[in-house]
Structure 1
Amino acid sequence: MTVFSLVLTSIFVFFSGQLQAGGTTTAEKHYAVVVIGGGLMGSAAAWQLARDGKEVILLEKQDREYSQGSSKGLTRIARSNNLGSDLWSYLHNRSVQETATLVNYLGNQGDDISMSAVYQTTPVNYMRPLKAADAIIASSERQKVDYKLALTPEEGMEMFGVQLPEGVFLHREFNEHSGTLNPEALISLLHKAIKLKGGTIVYNASVSDIQRQGNHYLIASKDSQGSERKLTASQIVSASGPHTGPLLTELAPYMDKLITPKRVFLAFLQISPAKYHQLEDHARSQLRRAYPVINSSAGTREGSFYSMFESSGADGNPVIKIGGHFQRSDINSLDDVWHQALSEEEIRWSIENTGRYLRMHGVPVNDEDLQLVDDVSCVYSLTSTEVPIVSQLVAPSGDMDSNFVVIAGMSGVGAKGAMTYGRIAANLLQGKSENDSGYLEAVEAVGFTRLKEDVDQLQVSPEK
């Protein structure tokens, strides 16, 4: 090689390095399966695929600290009983089984982990209008839920020490692993297991584009410095939450119409230390028994709330998390909504509902005794029926794209069933099924037949 050639080669290498450092696209690499979204849904799907021996890479736009998404935080309500539908009960109960499999696998790999790392078993409280009592009794017995029911104010006081309003009943569920689950802990365990199974996880990888190229997909992602990376995949699972519509504009433009992101809020309250230390033992005991709760006693969607303990201080004074499943508002910017502070009205709603509920349980606190210690805005992704989608895509031809599965529209009900959604997604991508009737009913409710009907309806009624 001449001196001139050596100089040219050196210049080329130098500028290639400079361009790549400045954000130039890196070379493509091919993967069998790419999972987009490292929250509960994507992580559960990636784990199930890795467990089945598939080569998996999981792309997550955040870093290891999960600060955005409906699964943010340390607690979500986990429950077996569900009024009017066995679907949600199956999703929870199957998820408990799948979590046990995950915990056992990690234990066999030398990790000292128990189910209590994910599930905190406590009685779950439901307060509802009396007219729903018959349906609750029927569903509890059908779903084999251990429960107690107070139908009158007298029974409420005698059984639970609770002052029930007229026309309201209290139902308590007593099932192992019903209570709360820790989504952050579950995500962490899933990521550990994925890696142990040979999977790859890339954080700070925001997917900006997906194109179909022949028999595979081309995926473009950017890291936190703006450097772009391109990779190809034979199969994809998209679990990108509220970003599903924009992400799938090219492959499935109908998703932007089927999935509607809405902002919801969470308030974190605590009884003032001075007041908490004045509480007698009975009041503190009642405080502990009162949570978690789903309170629908107001009789309106907007008036209902869910609430649970997020954490407790060294003195036992709990941080109470409260939110409204139907306290929703429009979103101007998905990038900014996570940082939106609660309004005064939202804070007032949270304090008033918490104070009223505590006093009902004999905890003598006034609204002014409750302090706001934190607040969070997060996002629900909603379908028109509020039943999620876990399905292969509908291709432009109307046929099934069996190599692309989307998990979307969790609408705040995803956490307790996440492990089941992951199993369904992994099975769909591999062309597998199960004989279990609960599984088949779940696939029917969330899968391709339902998605195809929704897409066909959009074509009939494009104005929707």
Structure 2
Amino acid sequence: MTPDVVVVGGGAMGSAAAWSLARRGADVVLLERFTPGHTNGASHGASRIFRLAYAQPDYIRLARRALDLWRKLESETGRPLLDLTGGVDHGLLAPIEDIAGALDAEGVPGRWLRAEEASERWPGLRFAGPVYFHPTSGRVHADNAVAALQSAAAARGAVVRHETPVLSVTVRAENDVEVVTPAETLRARRVVVAAGAWTPSLLPGLLRVRVTQEQPAHFAPLDPALQWPSFIHHRPDLGVYGLATPGEGIKAGFHGTGPEVDPDHRNFAEEPVHAAQLRDYARHWLPGVDADATTPISCTYTTTPTSDFVIDRTGPLVVLAGFSGHGFKFTPAIGELAADLIAGARPLPRFRIHKTGR
């Protein structure tokens, strides 16, 4: 086969790239090594936080574009994906003031609440210090989002193949990239590599990322009728995030604290010390849950040294990497940026490969 573009990796980012490229009329083949809905990477599950609340204007603008595209995807597929429940930041004041200032400068609504006022509104949470509330926040259904992106891409002519691992990606010439699978060799003018934790093995030496196994959990709510915003707790030692996942409980986790792993040799097992620390956190800060009634979750983070994303082009390759921990909300906008790079656009400075220590 000689498609215009081969996309390697059928998680959120690769699927979004395939959708954006197919919308522009490109001949696209999307290759995913696992079955639909698998739990081996970073795109599975029923909930991811959506928020515009960043201290950096370029991230705010990217999230705004993603909001528009999530709604477009919902309209195109008939699937509800994004639920705006509102979100809060609390804890250390300085980073929250930076976020509030950036949102205000970009014209994004938000307001400060006293901790007592926030606790009265959301009794399932305990708050530290002033609370910043931003209504344009909520959750995206991750599994449904990936499925919707793939179905929308296929409806526009993209070929989507699961259970098709890519063994190698080799640039042969300026407009000739060889993609080898166990069954065949494909040639394309351009290739998008969005392989998550498997990116370093497919593109050795190109960028530095750290692959970790993270362990959030769903906690059983004591009162299912309580309303929950998405929340970020800024702490000196580590960040904590959480949100309600309908049908599964209240999801909470520590941000980026897991051990480094090989994605092909994970045991998916609950790490007892980490799990105990998360339960202790829930006992103190989440009075609306049963801290001992948990369902552990295992996923991977793929993180650059700066925690910025890689959305860049090198020759005929477009590389999408380093999204774990805070990338999912931006998914359709990142797919659009990938399609822009394929069309010859200049990469955005924040997302260049050199920013990750190359």
8 Å CA contact 1:387–1:411 kept in 2: the answer is: no
Partner of 1:19: none
Deviation sequence 1:34-76 (CA, Å, 0-9, x none): 0000111000101111110000000001111232222210100
2:66 matches 1:95 = yes
8 Å CA contact 1:81–1:143 kept in 2: the answer is: no
Deviation sequence 1:340-382 (CA, Å, 0-9, x none): 21122122122222222223xxx4x664xx312x222211111
2:328 matches 1:407 = no
2:113 matches 1:208 = no
| Alignment partner of 2:227 out of 282, 288, 299 | 288
8 Å CA contact 2:215–2:275 kept in 1: the answer is: no
The structure-2 alpha-carbon separation of the partners of 1:201 and 1:95, relative to structure 1 and needing over 3 Å to count, comes to same
2:206 matches 1:254 = yes
8 Å CA contact 1:81–1:140 kept in 2: the answer is: yes
Residue 386 of structure 1 deviates from its aligned partner by 0.6
Bigger proportion of residues as helix? 1
| Alignment partner of 2:217 out of 248, 262, 267 | 267
Amino acid at match of 1:404: L
2:200 matches 1:241 = no
The structure-2 alpha-carbon separation of the partners of 1:136 and 1:357, relative to structure 1 and needing over 3 Å to count, comes to same
Partner of 2:245: 310
| Alignment partner of 2:348 out of 443, 450, 463 | 443
Q: Secondary structure at the match of 1:31?
A: coil
2:299 matches 1:378 = yes
Alignment of 1:337-356 (within 5 A): 337=266, 339-356=267-284
Partner of 2:311: 390
2:139 matches 1:174 = no
Q: Secondary structure at the match of 1:67?
A: coil
The structure-2 alpha-carbon separation of the partners of 1:323 and 1:133, relative to structure 1 and needing over 3 Å to count, comes to closer
| Alignment partner of 1:67 out of 39, 42, 45 | 39
Give 5+ residue unaligned stretches, structure 2. Answer: none
Between the aligned partners of 2:276 and 2:327, the Cα distance in structure 1 is: 27
The structure-2 alpha-carbon separation of the partners of 1:288 and 1:212, relative to structure 1 and needing over 3 Å to count, comes to same
Residue 131 of structure 1 deviates from its aligned partner by 3.8
Residue 196 of structure 1 deviates from its aligned partner by 1.1
Alignment of 1:40-51 (within 5 A): 40-51=12-23
Between the aligned partners of 1:218 and 1:133, the Cα distance in structure 2 is: 47
The structure-2 alpha-carbon separation of the partners of 1:202 and 1:366, relative to structure 1 and needing over 3 Å to count, comes to closer
TM-score of the pair, normalised by structure 2: 0.91
Residue 145 of structure 1 deviates from its aligned partner by 2.6
The structure-2 alpha-carbon separation of the partners of 1:443 and 1:132, relative to structure 1 and needing over 3 Å to count, comes to closer
Residue 99 of structure 1 deviates from its aligned partner by 2.2
Residue 89 of structure 1 deviates from its aligned partner by 1.5
8 Å CA contact 1:264–1:328 kept in 2: the answer is: yes
2:16 matches 1:57 = no
Deviation sequence 1:285-340 (CA, Å, 0-9, x none): 5x423x321111x3222xx211112223xxxxx61211111322121x31132x42
Between the aligned partners of 2:127 and 2:245, the Cα distance in structure 1 is: 25
| Alignment partner of 2:8 out of 33, 36, 61 | 36
Between the aligned partners of 1:366 and 1:34, the Cα distance in structure 2 is: 46
Partner of 1:221: 181
The structure-2 alpha-carbon separation of the partners of 1:218 and 1:160, relative to structure 1 and needing over 3 Å to count, comes to closer
8 Å CA contact 2:309–2:323 kept in 1: the answer is: yes
Amino acid at match of 1:42: G
Number of residue-to-residue matches in the alignment: 356
8 Å CA contact 1:38–1:59 kept in 2: the answer is: yes
Between the aligned partners of 1:412 and 1:133, the Cα distance in structure 2 is: 18
Between the aligned partners of 1:156 and 1:329, the Cα distance in structure 2 is: 34
Residue 155 of structure 1 deviates from its aligned partner by 5.1
8 Å CA contact 1:60–1:202 kept in 2: the answer is: yes
TM-score of the pair, normalised by structure 1: 0.71
Q: Secondary structure at the match of 1:185?
A: helix
Between the aligned partners of 1:164 and 1:320, the Cα distance in structure 2 is: 16
8 Å CA contact 1:295–1:306 kept in 2: the answer is: yes
8 Å CA contact 1:424–1:443 kept in 2: the answer is: no
Between the aligned partners of 1:158 and 1:98, the Cα distance in structure 2 is: 34
Amino acid at match of 1:328: G
The structure-2 alpha-carbon separation of the partners of 1:52 and 1:77, relative to structure 1 and needing over 3 Å to count, comes to same
Amino acid at match of 2:237: T
Residue 136 of structure 1 deviates from its aligned partner by 3.7
Between the aligned partners of 2:126 and 2:333, the Cα distance in structure 1 is: 38
The structure-2 alpha-carbon separation of the partners of 1:336 and 1:376, relative to structure 1 and needing over 3 Å to count, comes to farther
Q: Secondary structure at the match of 2:189?
A: strand
The structure-2 alpha-carbon separation of the partners of 1:259 and 1:235, relative to structure 1 and needing over 3 Å to count, comes to same
Between the aligned partners of 1:381 and 1:210, the Cα distance in structure 2 is: 20
| Higher relative contact order structure (alpha carbons within 8 Å, sequence separation ≥ 6) | 2
Residue 453 of structure 1 deviates from its aligned partner by 6.0
The structure-2 alpha-carbon separation of the partners of 1:266 and 1:53, relative to structure 1 and needing over 3 Å to count, comes to same
8 Å CA contact 2:126–2:286 kept in 1: the answer is: no
